[in-house]
Structure 1
Amino acid sequence: MNETLLSKTVLFRGLSKEEIHDAMLALQARELLYKKDASILLAGSTTEKMGLVLEGSVRIESNDMWGNRTILSHVGPGQFFAETYAFLNNEPLLVDVVANEDSRILFLKIHSLKETNAATHTWVLKLLTNLLVVTAHKNLVLSGRSFHTSPKTIRGKVLAYLNSVALQSGSHRFDIPFDRQQLADYLNVDRTALSKELGKMKNEGLITFEKNHFEIQKASSF
C-alpha cells in the first residue's frame, strides 16, 4: 500500500509513513476490486470494516421492498463509507453500498481500534481524531441532502442542489457525480419530470448542461 497516497486522506492525516504502515497491519487492510453496479455492502447485513475509495466511486442508496431507490450520497476517491457501522460492528446497515463505476476499495477493520492500546501505539489517537472528522463531514453531506430535497418543487430541488455543488467547487461550471436517473433518485423525483424541468430551465437561460456538466447562468427564485 502507498503510504504517501494514504497520508493525503483525512483518516491518515498527520500520521507518519511508519504509523500508517503499523495501522494497516493492525486494521487488517485489504484491497478489493468491484465492477460497475456491483454490490459492496447490503442493507440488513453487518460489517466490521469501513471502506476507502482508492479508484472509481460508490453510491450509498436505500432500496425498499417495493423497488423504489433513493440515492443518499456519492463517495469518490479518497473518501470513506460505512465507518459508523464498522465502528459499532453489530448494527445492521440500513443502506446499500454499490459501485458507481469500476472501483478499487481499501477495507479497514476499524472495530479493532477498540482493542488497540493507544499508549503503546502512537497512531491510534491520531486515527480516532481523524475518524471523528470523517464522521462530522459525513453528517454535513447527509444534512446537505435534506436541504436539496426540502423544496416543494422540482426546480427548487434542482437549484438547491446545483447551488451547493457550485459553492463546493468554487465555480459556476462543474460536473455532478450523477447521471439523470441517479440525480432523480437523489432528489427523490420522477426522472421524466426532472428532464422536462431541466429543459425548461435551460430554455429560460438559467442553466446550461451537457450530460453531467452544468453551468449556472443566473440566479432565480425558487
Structure 2
Amino acid sequence: MEKNNNLNEAFLEVLAESPLFREIEKKELRAMLVCLGGQIKEYKKGTSIFRWGDTISKIGFVLKGNVHVLRETYWGKESLLGRIGPGDLFGEVYACLPDLEFDGTVVAQTDCSILFLNLNRTIATCSSACHFHTQMISNLLQILAQKNIAFSRKLDCLSHHTIRARLMEYFSKQAQICGNSSFSIPLNRQQLADYLCVDRSAMTVELYKLKDEGILDFDKNKFTLLE
C-alpha cells in the first residue's frame, strides 16, 4: 500500500462534486485537507481497507475506484452490505464511535485511491477558525441523515417475508420518491437482489410473474406500476 498526498486535478473534481464538500470553494480544498489531516492511500484490488475488529478514527472517501462493504457470519457466509464509488464515504458511523469495533470488512473491488480524513478535526473547529468547518459539519450531518433514511427504507422492505412483497414495497417507495408510476432504479438485477437479501434467480421469476399478471412492466432498470 503506497501512501500518496498529491491531490491532482481529477481528484479535486471528485471532491468538488461530493455532497461532503457542498458549497465549499474548489480553490479552498487543498488548504482544507491539510487542516483536516487528509491523507491519500492507494490500494490494490482485493486489498482490505478496514478489517473486522478495527477501531476507526478516520472517514474514508473514495477518490478513484470502487470498494465493497462486506459482512461475514461465524460460519463464513459472506454478504454484501454496500458498493461505494468515487465521491462516496465509508466508515463515518464507526469513526463517530471510536471505541466500537468494526464488524465487517471494506475491500478494494478495483485499484483504489482513498482519502482519509481525521474525524476529530472534521467535526471540531480549528484554531485558525476556517470558515469551511461549519459548512462541512452541516454537510456531514445531512449525509448521515440521508443514510439513516435509506437504511429505514431498506428495513421496510426486509420486514416483508416474501420476495414479491419485498419487491412491491421497494417499487412503491421508488414511485413515491419520483412522484410517478414510471421510474428508473439505480440498481441492476444482482444489486437489487442483494439489496432485498433474496436469491437473484428467484427474484427474476417473481418479476416476470408480476409482469404477466399485469401488476408492473419493466425494461432493464425502468419500471412502471400498472393499475
Q: How many pairs were matched up?
A: 215
Cα distance in 2 for residues equivalent to 1:179 and 1:31: 32
- Partner amino acid, structure 2, of 1:199: Y
* 1:177 maps to which of 175, 178, 187: 187
TM-score calculated relative to the size of structure 2:
0.76
- From 126, 129, 137, the equivalent of 1:120 is 129
Corresponding position of 2:217: 207
- Counterpart residue identity of residue 67, structure 2: V
* Partner amino acid, structure 1, of 2:19: V
Aligned to 1:10: 19
Contact 1:50 1:81 in 2 (8 A): yes
* Equivalent residue, structure 1, for 2:57: 48
Cα distance, 1:201 vs structure 2: 2.6
Which of 138, 148, 151 lines up with 1:142 in the alignment?
151
CA RMSD of aligned residues (A): 3.1
Unaligned runs of at least 5 residues, structure 1: none
In structure 1, what residue type is equivalent to 2:16? S
Instruction: State the distance in 2 between where 1:65 and 1:178 align.
Output: 29
- Taking structure 1 as the reference length, the TM-score comes to 0.77
Aligned to 1:160: 169
Deviation at 1:195, TM superposition (A): 3.0
Q: Give 1:119 shift.
A: 5.3
Identity, % of aligned pairs? 32
Cα 1:62–1:34 change in 2 (3 A) is same
Moved over 6 A (4+): none
**Which deviates more from structure 2 when the two are superposed, residues 161-170 or residues 183-192?**
161-170
User: Aligned equivalents of 2:205 and 2:140: distance in 1?
Assistant: 41
Counterpart of 2:81 (choices 72, 89, 97) is 72
Between the aligned partners of 2:77 and 2:68, the Cα distance in structure 1 is 15
Alpha-carbon distance between aligned partners in 1 of 2:136 and 2:86, rounded to the nearest angstrom: 19
Q: Which amino acid aligns with 1:10?
A: P
In structure 2, relative to structure 1, the CA distance for the partners of 1:113 and 1:77 (3 Å cut) is closer
Report what 2:205 is aligned to.
196
Name stretches of at least 5 consecutive residues in structure 2 with no aligned partner: 1-6
